[in-house]
Chain A
Amino acid sequence: MAATLKKKKKITVGQVINYALITLLAFVCLYPFLNVIAYSLSGYNAVLSGRVNFYPIDFSLEAYKQILGKTQIWNSMRTTVFVTVVGTALSLVLTTCAAYALSRQDLPGRTFLTGMILFTMYFGGGMIPTFLVVKGVGLYDTLGSLFIPQSVNVFNFIVMRTFFRNLPESLEEAARIDGASYVQVLIKIVLPLSLPIIATMGLFYAVGYWNTYFDALLYIQNPDKYTLQLRLRSLLFGEELNNSSANLEGMGTQVMTQSLKMATVAVSTIPILVVYPWLQKYFVKGVMIGSVKG
């Protein structure tokens, strides 16, 4: 009892204000999500009257039923899942290989090759020359254009290389003396020790691919190949949704549209929200390694 009293005494007014402000800030960060969910789950009249704020009123799953009944949404979802899975796998393999090879301090030509990669952080061809190259190699309007031209990220490369460099050398040396090749060392010793960093990089790449909007805008022409973000944009800011729901509902179209839009937003964001808590403990470390420059 005495101990708790003593502890309680230490809580000052300043601390209370601090906790309150942080709670408020966290609420501000969370509020838009709550607003989206509230809108997507509310009934017509509630949305129409503007009463919806951060909890659903007149609970209704109508918007989700409509959204999930659209084949376009499913097509785009499939496209995005494909790009995310294949892209992340390709990125992880390429980045790991490059980072491992260039983390060897004794590799001849290492400085030049690393410099060649780092230079692209500061200078690049820009939008149009890159566009012309993507077109030139035949990737235009293919799903490959959404992950092949972006497959290695310099920042992620630096993070991984730094991580590999900091692994205890003695382990690898021992394996090398026992006659293991570099590839064996990578697979049997380095990779098992690097799972946290690989998870982090996987998260960064996957979120990047999932959220890719601009590349899809540049390189994808055929609406059948629209990614989720592209589809989302045309639903949110284009006419697509207004027309279709007008056909379906007639009256109260505009209000239903708002619920529909928010349901679409929710559907396209949920996968990230599901993965996020599992990987959260890793990525802070990733950012910190990355901030120590290579």
Chain B
Amino acid sequence: MRSRTKTQSPYIAKKPFRQKLAKVWAYKWLYLMLLPVIVYYIVFKYVPMYGITIAFKDYNVFKGVLASPWCGLEVFKKIMTNKNFWEAIKNTLLLNVTTLLVSFPLTIIVSLMLNEVASAKFKKVTQSILYLPHFISWVVVAGIATNLFSLQGGTINHLLNSIGIDSIPFLSSNGWWIFTYVLCNVWKEIGWGTIIYLAALTGVDESLYEAAYLDGATKFQRLIYITLPSIKSVIVTMLILQISKMMTIGLDAPLLLGNSKVMGVSEVISTYTYRLGIERAKYSDSTAIGLFQSVINIIILLAADKFAKAIGEDGII
């Protein structure tokens, strides 16, 4: 079909371009379908990326993003010398690392336990229950947590009192608050996290187990020498993925669980940028912190990816 155009066109140089155009035209409906999504990404993702320039500007609400005067690295100098900024970074890492240390091994253990369950019905019911908290909003989780853990009138403290233990300040002392924060996170996501491991576990070759069984390997030995090595690459990938998110923290959990008493540990990067940017309207400062965080994130991500490839695993990008 295209050959006709070829013979008709006297201009050799224009030929490939025309062909290309004809080819693109053949897909016009697909491009039309894509158009709204591309517009969406440009408006809501790429224009804000340009907006990052206000981190290098003395932003003035009346002048807007484009007309505000440049000020170089002034904003960065200001935030870097701010104690609160480093405090927020420290808290972000503290909460993320603690949560990871608890939830990561626990998720694998729960997956292994679920995998050992022979009764399909029991497995299905428990899995349904374990996945459920993932779908609950943080507002609700925080509300429930307050009802359970508050110093006065909290169900757990009532229980402790009734067996002769003093009330525990789950939500109002720094150390216990971290405990409660990690607990809520683990409660919410542990079941959901098992899905990927369970999928990997179903792929383990049954004949390996049979062979080991015939050789007299105990259940525990089979777990250590067959099961874990079989899902090793999933474990490594998940770990690297999690580590690459260490500087990112959701705003909902610390904002909703936190209170003025535990600000020293609950103020993380996301809540700090929120308070600075929205509550105190310091747009440039808040944006600069966001950019700093994004850059660190990308560095960690690239490093993690490189590391994964270096040890012979699939990359994560």
Q: Which residues of A contact B (CB under 8 A)?
A: 12, 14-15, 18-19, 21-23, 25-26, 28-30, 32-33, 35-36, 39, 50, 52-53, 94-95, 97-98, 100-102, 104, 107-109, 113, 116-117, 120, 122-134, 137, 148-149, 151-152, 181-183, 207, 210-211, 213-214, 218, 229, 232-233, 236-237, 254-255, 258, 261-262, 264-265, 268-269, 272-273, 276-277, 280, 284, 287-288, 291, 293
Contact = CB atoms under 8 A, between A and B. Distances in A.
Interface of B: prevailing SS: helix
B30 interface: yes
B144 interface: yes
A132 B65 contact: yes
A97 B131 CA distance: 29
B205 interface: no
Contacts of A109: 24
A237 B257 CA distance: 10
Interface residues of B, number: 86
A259 to B, nearest CB: 10
A225 to B, nearest CB: 17
A214 B273 CA distance: 13
Interface in B278-316: 278, 283, 286-287, 290-291, 293-294, 297-298, 301, 316
Interface in B245-277: 251-252, 256, 270, 273-274, 277
Given A98-B34, A232-B139, A236-B146, A131 B40 contact: no
Contact of A276 (B38, B47, B135): B135
Interface of A is mostly: helix
Contact of B48 (A26, A35, A125, A183): A125
B36 A39 contact: no
A50 B158 contact: yes
Nearest to B31: A101
Interface of B: 20, 23-24, 27, 29-31, 33-34, 36-38, 40-41, 43-52, 54, 65, 110, 113-114, 116-118, 122, 125-126, 128-133, 135-140, 142-148, 153, 155, 158-159, 162, 187, 191-192, 195-196, 199, 219, 251-252, 256, 270, 273-274, 277-278, 283, 286-287, 290-291, 293-294, 297-298, 301, 316-317
A36 B147 contact: yes
12 contacts: A22-B117, A28-B187, A29-B133, A50-B162, A122-B317, A125-B290, A131-B277, A151-B40, A182-B29, A213-B252, A214-B252, A272-B136
A289 to B, nearest CB: 10
A26 B283 contact: no
Nearest to B154: A50
B186 to A, nearest CB: 10
A125 B52 contact: yes
A271 B33 CA distance: 32
Nearest to A266: B140
A26 B29 contact: no
A124 B45 contact: yes
Contacts of B48: 124-126, 129-130, 132-133
B283 A132 contact: yes
Given A94-B40, A108-B24, A125 B49 contact: yes
Contacts of A287: 192, 195-196
B34 A129 contact: no
A126 B36 contact: no
Nearest to B116: A18
Contacts of B192: 287
Contacts of A116: 38, 41
Nearest to A95: B37
A211 B253 CA distance: 13
B49 A276 contact: no
Given A18-B117, A101-B30, A233-B139, A50 B155 contact: yes
Contacts of B256: 213, 233, 237
Given A53-B155, A181-B29, A280-B131, A117 B294 contact: no
B147 A207 contact: no
A14 B130 CA distance: 21
B57 to A, nearest CB: 12
A29 B132 contact: yes
A128 B114 contact: no
B122 A19 contact: yes
A120 B47 CA distance: 12
A12 B218 CA distance: 12
A127 B274 CA distance: 8
Contacts of B46: 120
Contacts of B52: 125-126, 129
Nearest to B61: A132
A133 B47 CA distance: 7
Contacts of A236: 139, 142-143, 146
Given A129-B65, A207-B135, 14 more contacts: A53-B159, A94-B36, A107-B27, A122-B297, A123-B49, A125-B52, A125-B290, A127-B270, A130-B44, A132-B65, A148-B44, A211-B138, A237-B146, A291-B196
Most buried by B among A28, A127, A272: A127
Nearest to B315: A293
Q: Which of A124, A128, A237, A288 has the most CB of B within 10 A?
A: A128
Contacts of A131: 277-278
